[in-house]
Amino acid sequence: MLVGLQSGSYLGRMPAEVFAAAGKRWIGQSNLRNDALSMQQIQRHYGTWKRQIETILDGGQTRLSDYGSPGVTVRGD
């Protein structure tokens, strides 16, 4: 996992072992801070960008719940 790197051009160069990325790029890509957009428009922008990154990583994004121990519930998903 790479922290602070969510650029599609850089992620595409990473080895296959890299299956997730974390950072703040999603805020800009979704236009979250644009008050002129509705929440539905923001969600649509985010969804489009997210699908592009998932395609580049070829495995999707890993969720916190994927790392939970048996019998332990991870909240926040």
The pLDDT of residue 35 is above 60: yes
Higher-scoring residue by pLDDT: 65, 6: 6
Each domain of the chain, given as residue ranges in start order, spans: 2-67
Mean pLDDT of 65-75: 60
pLDDT at residue 11, as a whole number:
78
Q: What is the percent of the chain with per-residue pLDDT over 90, rounded to a whole number?
A: 8
Q: How far is CA 40 from CA 34, 69, 71, in A?
A: 12, 35, 35
Phi-psi region of 7 (alpha: psi -120 to 50; beta: other; left: phi over 0): beta
Sorting pLDDT into bands at 50, 70 and 90, what band is 14?
confident
pLDDT at residue 70, as a whole number:
62
The pLDDT of residue 71 is above 90: no
